[in-house]
Amino acid sequence: MDLIPLPHRTERAEGFFELGDGFGIEAGPGTEGTARWLRATLGAATGFALPPKKGDEYDVLHLSVRPGLDAEEYRLVVAPHGVHVQGGSPAGVFWGAQTMLQLLGPDAFRRAPLPGRTWRLPLTEIRDAPRFRWRGVMLDVARHFMPKDGVLRYLDLLAAHKLNVFHFHLTDDQGWRVEIRKYPRLTEVGSWRARTKFGHRASPLWEEKPHGGHYTQDDIREIVAYAAERHITVVPEIDVPGHSQAAIAAYPELGNTDVVDTTALSVWDTWGINPNVLAPTDNTLRFYEGVFEEVLELFPSEFIHVGGDECPKDQWRQSPAAQERIRELGLKDEDELQAWFIGHFDSWLTARGRRLIGWDEILEGGLAKGAAVSSWRGYAGGVAAARAGHDVVMCPEQQVYLDHRQDAGADEPVPIGFVRTLEDVYRFEPVPAELTPDEARHVLGTQANLWTEVMEDRARVDYQAFPRLAAFAEVAWSGLPAPAERDFAGFERRLAAHYGRLDALGVAYRPPTGPRPWQRRPGVPGRPIDGPPPNR
């Protein structure tokens, strides 16, 4: 049974349970969503109607929520006359159904039945539960826009790997991707750039055509509802106060108008850290309160991500208005000014029953009391935040930034950053060893990040994500041993079967032998970094 992620406990018996035309579903209270999902997915793959059935009939899949199990815990029993999936909550039932789908073989992930295919499940009992409550993937749709159907497909891929948080990076210098009705120019102007740098920012190559797009509010509602059906929480990111040139291009008054002519700015067409940041004015605060009011209506998530990373302070140092604000607030410097900016939205979100999360730069100048941290610059920010009593999501760039290259070979497309092999990702440990047990309880979980500067389309995202995302999913879900003791050879054996599932799902993953010819990008310069990444 080549399951990914690896279950906590599996007991196999001799024999199989065969599914036939009469196979049906008994959906207990709270499991109706999983039954609906199975009829749509498994029904499409098998051609079976999967009608409602009663518990005393044969050939029944029994779905039930059972007290005594943790919320995401499940128990899957395949017996000679039927199948039972029990979960501690509807989410647990859904994860158990995902495991059942894997047991049926790769063809269970197809969208239409293959002629002559028989369907059977090995007689078995599986007990399983996740290690972390936050098992996330960040997808950047600001640098390269992914249309709605691609996002929905990615949610299916996350669900198939028991990942449950979709961090939706919606705004940046290169594009604003979510409709805000109060400020229509954010998408009318801010969602399109005139051209795009092809490759790393030092590349001489340009794609000389407009790039962009955005999600309407109805698109967002559909995405959030689709995710919820799969027990995935969508956490939106609206970047402040840096990474904001697209917003400033749409509304120049948001920028530091006493330093630069913000009316001359356009949506940025290249990559890197942009000097044009939001002005720390009351007008800016009120504007973004208006943005967040609509964001809260669209996203019911506990956490709202506000970015907070890579905010150069040069314009604030040169700005008389920013310097006056520092004096007026009794702050020490520009770092404390950013902390004040982030703190304002922490208080604002807290008053509305939400929690702020930001990249680890929000630690600089003092961390807002209720804020959580996405630790991306290594482990240090997460360690500092956890020791200070703040919740942490561990996503260190050197370990789980999947835009980094997978191999040192010359054929890797647009090689960025350190080499992070499949095995490297499999041996990633989210909880720093130096944390005490009490401090470690602040580690909510872990997240892999997909930044799309050099991922121009869905196929490129697939290539960078898979199969490494399968390894990451096992790290996030399964109670694995210490990194050096993990059975990577065993994972590779199970992955050989998992490639068949990815094929059935149409995932353009990187083959173990290296990129296929059409996956290469000859002549497009990247920014490879030699040597092992720092482990700190």
Chain Cα centroid distance, residue 314: 32
Classify residue 172 by burial, with Cβ atoms within 10 Å: 0-12, 13-18, 19+: buried
Buried/exposed 61-86: b ≥16 CB within 10 Å, e otherwise: bbbbbbeebeebbbbbbbeeebbbbb
CA distances, 195 to each of 143, 147, 175, 261, 459 (Å): 12, 18, 12, 21, 20
Matching residue, tokens 């999936």: 85
| 294 counts as catalytic | no
Catalytic residue among 167, 243, 404, 442: 243
Residues 375 and 370: their CA atoms lie apart, in Å, by 16
Matching residue, tokens 């997808």: 139
- Asked if 197 and 335 touch (Cβ cutoff 8 Å), the reply is no
Catalytic residue among 2, 72, 172, 391: 172
| 438 counts as catalytic | no
3-state secondary structure 92-128: HHHHHHHHHHHHCCHHHHCCCCCCCCCEEEEEEEEEE
DSSP-assigned beta bridge partners for residue 52: 25
Catalytic residue among 156, 294, 310, 423: 310
Residue type, 433: A
Torsion sign over Cα 234, 91, 100, 60: negative
- Asked if 448 and 494 touch (Cβ cutoff 8 Å), the reply is no
> What are the residues whose beta carbons fall under 8 Å from the beta carbon of 178, sequence distance 6 or more?
170, 171, 186, 187, 214, 215, 217, 220, 236, 238, 295, 298
| Other beta carbons less than 10 A from residue 487's beta carbon | 13
The H or E element that residue 268 is part of is: none
Residues 291 and 310: their CA atoms lie apart, in Å, by 21
How do strand 24-27 and strand 60-65 relate by DSSP bridges?
parallel
Matching residue, tokens 């809260």: 296
Nearest to 305 by CA among 440, 447, 205: 447
| 333 counts as catalytic | no
Query: How many Cα neighbours within 13 Å face the side chain of 98?
Result: 30
Residue type, 427: R
| Other beta carbons less than 10 A from residue 428's beta carbon | 23
Rounded to 5°, the CA angle 43-45-48 comes to 40
Q: Strand, coil or helix: what is 297? A: helix
Catalytically active residues are 172, 243, 310
